[in-house]
Amino acid sequence: MAEIIQKDGTWLFDGDTVRIVPGNDKGVSPLRAALGEIAVPLEALAGISFESGRKSGRLRLRLRDGADPLLQIAAGRLGESSDPYRLTVERDRSGVAEYLVDEVRNALLLDGVESGPVDRYLLPGPALPITASAGDGTVTFDGERIRLEWNWKTEESKSSGGPTILAPADVESVEWQPSAGLDNGYMRFRVARAPASARPKYDPYAVELWGFRKDPLMALAGAAVVARLPHPYASAGTGTEAGPEPETAGTAAPGGEDHDALLRRLRELGELHQAGILTAEEFATAKQAVLKRL
């Protein structure tokens, strides 16, 4: 088990899951505080890194594309402070961070976790019910209804119709765009019966965002809905979550694993060791784990 505790959060790895708990420091963003503890299964990880610095370093988790509904809706637009998969590490804890990185990388290697995209969400998304208020509205979602309510700052032509109520089945997609420069952001629910033509300021299916600290909370509400919509990669299929190969494709090992696949894994480990990516100790540990499966 590896664990690191810092002001803005705690990361713990037990061999199967990376648990991320936000800290109580006043600098922790509203999104991370509202999201609470996240349990990231090993199969959802594409990688982990530690970047050292003069005063502090950063731990970063990289998730497989399509694994997390929050990252799906954010599309790389979450700010550093709101990113739950980043942890600022004090300089004197760099050794602990590097140890955690080694443990996670070894587990990914031993389990042969692929780094490519997935066609189903491996994280459940924010807990329900969820309510987020920012910009000109409030979004509430309880799993059955999405409710958009307006405040005194809402354009009258949008608020005059009263709250907007949707069922998840009405929603084709959810868009979240943070404000940038002089351009306001928004979160919009796209529905088939009402093509989005109006600006977010006037669209009853959109909340306009003005760049304030609570704006990322809207991404949480959107992610909760996205988690219950069809996965965007499900129809195309990625091949990463395919079922077992027919028995004719290879001889099954006693544990139910493909004998040829394990032999290929041994060759890959040998190549990584020869390339200097794995140390002798890491290679021996990984090799032993594969041999036990044969």
* Alpha carbons 178 and 141: distance in angstroms, whole number: 20
Sign of CA dihedral 227, 42, 46, 51: positive
Report residues of the chain scoring pLDDT below 70: 195-196, 236-263, 271-273, 275-278, 282, 290, 292-294
In this predicted model, what pLDDT tens digit does every residue of 18-76 receive, in sequence order?
999 999 888 899 999 999 999 999 999 999 999 988 889 999 999 999 999 999 999 99
d(CA 244, CA 256): 10
pTM of the model: 0.79
d(CA 143, CA 128): 7
| CA–CA separation, 42 and 98 (whole Å) | 18
User: What one-letter code names the amino acid at 285?
Assistant: T
Instruction: Kindly report, residue by residue over 236-248, the tens digit of the pLDDT.
Output: 544 444 333 333 3
Distance (Å, whole) CA 247 – CA 245:
6
Cα–Cα distance measured from residue 235 to residue 238, given in angstroms and rounded to the nearest whole number:
9
The tens digit of pLDDT for each residue in 159-169 reads 999 999 999 99
